[in-house]
Amino acid sequence: MADAGVGQATCDKKSYENKVVISPLEGTLLRDESFFPYYMLVALEAGGPLRALCLLLLSPVVWALRALALEDLAIKLQVFIAVAGLKASTVRSVAIGVLTKFFLDDLEPATYKAWRTSRSSRCVVTSHPSLFVGHFLRTHLNVDLILASELRITPDGVCTGFLDPSNCLVTNVQKMHAIKKLVLAEAGPQGVLCGICTEGRRYKYLSICKEIIVVKHTSSGQKVPKEEYFSPLVFHDGRLVIRPTPLASLAVALWLPFGFFLALMRVFVGRALPQELIFPMTSLLGVRLRVAGVPPMVDTSNSPQKGITFVCVHRTLADPTFLSMALRRKVRAFAFKVSKVSEYLTPIPMTSLTRNREEDTKLMRDFLAKEDIAVCPEGTTCREPFLLRFSPLFAELGDWLAPVAIDVNTSMFHATSARGYKFMDGIFLAMNPSPLYKVTFLEPICARELRENGKSPIDIANMVQKQLAASLGFDCTNYSRKDKYLLLAGHDGKF
């Protein structure tokens, strides 16, 4: 769907007969007035580290232009560096998969409350490209009309790095013109414009509003509760955990060489030492592991299966590795196709699933006959507090199931990716200053008895999903691997 800007106002056929609530994006709906972090994210995720470094080096120039009240030049400079030469489809993908999370984290609670409780038609005004903000505003703020600048894009779908002169809203005069042309035209002579502004800020367009709502910024530590979002955020992408302000971006750039060396040390310890020594040694290198519950102790002497199935929540590719660290012994992991680099970095045996049900069934049965295995039935990772739909194959084959609730906290880099280089996932996890893994063992389940009593594998899989979600305080969903990759990467995830 094309993003609507000044020249293509689409209002989803909603009526403007009563009232239109209009609000600026930056500094009002969003707490931060600076859009630098979002340009940095686009430059890094769509353009690469060199483009991001260029934007970082020019950040003092951007700051100086803003200090001299040359906001329009600051915006145009950031736009050019961030998107010049990039495909518009790539920028849109980053906006959907990466920017949305940071937009939601930066929402101003006081403004959002007034915005959310309004029953009027909603309009947002911003100086920045609609390609950046369109998906977020429509999906997560229920915006009816977006007044934003438009990028100039070639017929081949490549961003030139310039704003379209006929759809440019970087000055107050341009914004006022757009509001009079589009919003007042839609509202009609009897319509009421209600403007939202923050305390101490006045915008030129407020002079034509019949009502004004003034909100006061909340403290910087407060955020909008996730349960109050118009639409829940289940999937997002990108490598950075921290908001890339100029200082934070500089800190990441300076940490990279030290972080990479630290990652190599952690990988070496994991590969070279016996399993029982890995946990204490990696602890010395800043890796934290918290274990709760009791590892399962079940009698399999009367069962044809000598192994039990550890059913893990899937947060990163390293989940089975940390499970083995918690058990002080190696457990074979089953996963969809992983890169050769990831296989080498993993210190435990790993078997790739083929996505052929008959072959995967035979593989799992053969290994269960002689050893324990670990599976992640979600089929892909999820960063947010949600569990994806569980594939029931593990419940069909395993006699004993051991649910394992897993969560991970990182402070600098995400260890999963949908669009990026997946072979780097393990490296980015190890590059975090002090990653924290939490492993909780739940009571084992005799799936064989449940099946004999009439429970289907799907019922058992759903039961295990609910137990794990309750243990972590997560919500169960019916989303699948395909849903994640279609949203974030534009394909079905089969690679």
From 186, 202, 228, give the residue that closes a domain: 228
In this structure, is residue 495 part of a structural domain? no
Q: What region does 471 belong to: left with phi over 0, alpha with psi -120 to 50, or beta?
A: alpha
In this structure, is residue 83 part of a structural domain? yes
Confidence at residue 114, expressed as pLDDT on a 0 to 100 scale: 87
Please give the biggest Cα pair distance in the chain.
83
Cα–Cα distance for residue pair 244/89, rounded to 1 Å:
23
The residue among 96, 94, 127 whose CA lies nearest residue 27 is: 127
Confidence at residue 432, expressed as pLDDT on a 0 to 100 scale: 97
From 164, 198, 228, give the residue that closes a domain: 228
Cα–Cα distance for residue pair 241/412, rounded to 1 Å:
5
395 and 444 housed in the same domain? yes
The helix/strand/coil state of 197 is: strand
In this structure, is residue 348 part of a structural domain? yes
CATH at 102: 3.40.50.1000
In this structure, is residue 72 part of a structural domain? yes
193 and 220 housed in the same domain? yes
454 within 8 A of 365, measured Cβ to Cβ: no
298 and 406 housed in the same domain? yes
Q: Are strands 400-409 and 350-352 parallel, antiparallel or unpaired?
A: unpaired
380 and 408 housed in the same domain? yes
| Mean pLDDT in residue range 385-391 | 96
| Mean pLDDT in residue range 100-108 | 96
In this structure, is residue 342 part of a structural domain? yes
Top mean pLDDT of 10-19, 117-126, 248-257, 267-276 is at: 248-257
Containing structural domain, residue 301: 246-488
135 and 256 housed in the same domain? no
213 and 265 housed in the same domain? no
495: confidence class by pLDDT, cuts 50, 70, 90: low
Structural tokens at position 113: 């409350």
182 and 292 housed in the same domain? no
How many structural domains is the chain composed of?
A: 2
Residue 209 pLDDT greater than 60, yes or no:
yes
The residue among 89, 88, 71 whose CA lies nearest residue 35 is: 71
Residue pLDDT, tens place only, 148-193:
999 999 999 999 999 999 899 998 888 888 888 877 666 655 567 7
The structure's pTM equals 0.91
In this structure, is residue 405 part of a structural domain? yes
Residue pLDDT, tens place only, 258-270:
999 999 999 999 8
218 and 308 housed in the same domain? no
Kindly tell me the sign of the dihedral angle through the C-alpha atoms of 206, 207, 209, 211.
positive
CATH at 455: 3.40.1130
209 and 256 housed in the same domain? no
205 and 276 housed in the same domain? no
Contacts of 431 (CB under 8 A, 6+ apart): 255, 256, 259, 260, 262, 263, 412, 413
147 and 253 housed in the same domain? no
356 and 386 housed in the same domain? yes
Beta strands in 43-181 (DSSP E): 121-129, 145-149, 151-153, 159-163
